[in-house]
Amino acid sequence: MSDFTLPVHHDGADPARDTGYVDPPPRMGFFTDTSICIGCKACEVACKEWNEVPEDGLEWTGMSFDNTQGLSADSWRHVAFIEQPAVAEDGKDFRWLMASDVCKHCTHAACLDVCPTGALFRTEFGTVVVQDDVCNGCGYCVPACPYGVVAIRESDGGAHKCTLCYDRLEVGQEPACAKACPTDSIQFGELETLRARAGERVEALHAAGVEEAQLYGHDPEDGVGGDGAFFLLLDEPEVYGLPPDPVVTTRDLASMWRHAGAAAGALVLVVGASFLGGRSR
Amino acid sequence: MAPRGRGGGRAGPRGRRVVPRRAVPVSPRRRREPEFISYYGRPILNEPVWAATDIAGYFFLGGMAGASSLLAAGAELTDRPALARASKVGALGAISLSLVALVHDLGRPARFLNMLRVFKPTSPMSVGVWVLGAYAPAAGIAAASDLTGIARPAGRAAAAGAAALGPVVASYTSVLMCNTAIPAWHEGYREMPFVFVASAASAAAGLALVAVPCDQAGPARTLAVAGAVGELAASHRLTSRLGLVADTYDTGRAGTLIKAAKVMTAAGAVLGATAGRRTRPASMVAGAALLAASACTRFGIFAAGVASARDPKYVVAPQRERRASATPAA
């Protein structure tokens, strides 16, 4: 029991190789620089068009100009509009942040770990994809995701989320959202290159006085082993609806099984002990 | 007020640091209200899509079945045929109903079979499906042989097999729940298996108190007391360790269910161990209370999880705290 190791606990940040691909291409991902997002929603639309994702309600929510509200089985990109009264040092002001959210394609992906059918799999590019024809709709991936990304589509009962346009990647194309983004807020490429570029961008912003600029999901040491889709944010993650410190709960699975084993043992002992003592009949 | 040329967050060059106010109204809560910000109060996590009746019901029935198989084995070894038979039949009935609940949640039987195409140790659901695949037939053969008197040796072997797998069936569902990002479940992963097996013991004991004459139900009465003590202790430990997230177990639908469970657990165990010794009606009332208590425990835990996913406070505040406490050490 103590030697129980889990496949998610590889040291390297190369999930494709860890999964068993012998000579995979470089890990690909997204760097979403929200400081240059203009909230045009071209990414949302391009994603729906390319992936034939159904419409998911065309009504105003009343909460803001954000009428998508969040990621779902039918929204694989979601542009958050943060419209807030804010206090500036020189008086009252208003701020408006925009950020295009997406599946994070975690290095240690909880959805993939818990899937009991193998419908979720790791691609050679290190991304995470659901196979619609294998998914049985058990819904385990839904509460497992620490980012609240993957969801069940009511019309077909299956789990759906961003595939990072696996079909386009296979033929050397970039994902539809990145292709459509007019400001290059969504950048697609080799993850290592993107991380280096993101680091430079944060430094440039800091030098320009934007102290609040920070990277999110870039760190291979974080609770999910770093994200294949990471972000430059202008405020804390929770402002954008992102968890501050997500973890892949599978990392505690060995401990969970040990506790369950102890509990099961206790049950055996207690039931056994119930039969000790004098026969009452 | 329109944003100026530079949006609030990007106001660096002129030295205007923009500090967000608490922008999102948080739901009015009673105590220990944490400072936190979220995106229009919208949830961060997706709540489970599982129907409570199917999945919490499945946890209750599976627990009752697993512990009943163990009770049946003890009864057989100590020559209590009525206890053995009731527990075997109860185990079969419960596990059959739990599989119906599972298939109902999935939509159609083929989707259950689809899970048998792989075995994944990282997925407690996959592990559970295989365990059930071995346990359910064993429980079935054990009960059928006991009822019909056919193939007694095979029946005894099956009963032993069911007893060996019973504790796994009763406990694995706690791992299934806790291996999610739902704060009320995951944060309690150390105590949850003990709550689950204690609740399973209560249910199995309750079933026996209902179905078995007093003169053979002695071990069930003892088990009822042990299960009740164990469940109350483990639940207490769970909620006292959880901090803010413990609120989800104390309030709302979950709070009601869990309070009801505690009262019925204690009452059922006490009644079973006292008047239940002498009169069958008292024994049956005690048993029914224990069964209801076990069901309430499962439904309450389920509801607490949903509540903890629905309010971003339970995601943001503990994670912020964790990060704050980890930073100085790093």
pTM: 0.91
Tokens of A148: 């609240």
Q: Report residue A92's pLDDT band, with 50, 70 and 90 as the boundaries.
A: low
Calculate what percentage of chain B has a pLDDT beyond 70.
88
Whether A5 has a pLDDT exceeding 60, the answer reads no
What does the alpha-carbon distance between residue A208 and residue A201 come to, in Å, rounded to a whole number? 11
What does the alpha-carbon distance between residue B66 and residue B164 come to, in Å, rounded to a whole number? 9
What does the alpha-carbon distance between residue B121 and residue B229 come to, in Å, rounded to a whole number? 32
User: Is A101 labelled a binding residue?
Assistant: no
Q: Give whole-number Cα distances, B166 to A73, A103, B155, B158, B195, in Å.
A: 37, 39, 16, 12, 16
A92/A75: higher pLDDT: A75
Within a domain: residue B254?
yes
User: Is A14 labelled a binding residue?
Assistant: no
Q: What is the pLDDT of residue A95?
A: 83
Number of domains in chain B: 1
Tokens of B16: 């205007």
Eight-class DSSP state of A105: -
Averaged pLDDT for residues A82-89: 74
Report whether B54 contacts B104 (CB < 8 A): yes
**Domain at B159, CATH number:** 1.20.1630.10
Backbone dihedral angles phi then psi of residue A207, each to the nearest 5 degrees = -65, -30
Q: What are the tens digits of pLDDT across the range B253-302?
A: 999 999 999 999 999 999 999 999 999 999 999 999 999 999 999 999 99
Beta carbon pairs, A and B, within 8 Å = 311
Q: Which residues of B touch A256 (CB under 8 A)?
A: 124, 174-175, 178-179, 189, 193
3 state SS of B95? helix
Which 86-145 residues of chain B touch chain A by CB within 8 A? 105-107, 111-112, 114-115, 117-118, 120-126, 129
Whether A260 has a pLDDT exceeding 90, the answer reads yes
Q: What are the tens digits of pLDDT across the range B211-256?
A: 999 999 999 999 999 999 999 999 999 999 999 999 999 999 999 9
Whether B184 has a pLDDT exceeding 80, the answer reads yes
Averaged pLDDT for residues A161-178: 97
Q: Nearest residue of B to residue A246 by CA position?
A: B319
Complex ipTM, two decimals? 0.92
Q: Nearest residue of A to residue B172 by CA position?
A: A260
Within a domain: residue B127?
yes
Are A253 and B23 in contact (CB < 8 Å)? no
* CA-based nearest residue to B227, from B149, B139, B286: B286
Q: Report residue A89's pLDDT band, with 50, 70 and 90 as the boundaries.
A: low
Q: What is the pLDDT of residue B326?
A: 80
Q: Report residue B26's pLDDT band, with 50, 70 and 90 as the boundaries.
A: very low
Q: What is the pLDDT of residue A278?
A: 56
* CA-based nearest residue to B171, from B92, B59, B58: B59
User: Is A281 labelled a binding residue?
Assistant: no
Within a domain: residue B167?
yes
Within a domain: residue B25?
no
DSSP string, B130-154: HHHHHHHHHHHHHHHHHHH--SHHH
Q: Return the H-helix or E-strand segment holding A120.
A: strand A120-122
Within a domain: residue B34?
no
The Cα of B152 is separated from the nearest Cα of chain A by a number of Å equal to 23
Within a domain: residue B159?
yes
Q: What is the pLDDT of residue A12?
A: 54
Tokens of A242: 């992102």
Q: Report residue A91's pLDDT band, with 50, 70 and 90 as the boundaries.
A: low
Q: What is the pLDDT of residue A59?
A: 77
Q: Report residue B306's pLDDT band, with 50, 70 and 90 as the boundaries.
A: very high
Q: What are the tens digits of pLDDT across the range B118-139?
A: 999 999 999 999 999 999 999 9
Q: What are the tens digits of pLDDT across the range B27-52?
A: 444 455 677 889 999 999 999 999 99
Tell me which residue in A137, A210, A259 faces B12 most closely, judged by beta carbons.
Answer: A210
Q: Which residues are CB-neighbours of B116 under 8 A, at least 6 positions away?
A: B129, B130, B133
The Cα of B155 is separated from the nearest Cα of chain A by a number of Å equal to 21
Within a domain: residue B272?
yes
Within a domain: residue B24?
no
Whether A98 has a pLDDT exceeding 80, the answer reads yes
- Best mutation target among B24, B49, B172 (most A Cβ atoms within 10 Å) is B49
Q: Report residue B14's pLDDT band, with 50, 70 and 90 as the boundaries.
A: very low
Which domains can be identified in chain A, with CATH numbers?
17-272 (3.30.70.20)
Domain boundaries, position B169? 52-311
Report whether A210 contacts A13 (CB < 8 A): no
Q: What is the pLDDT of residue A83?
A: 86
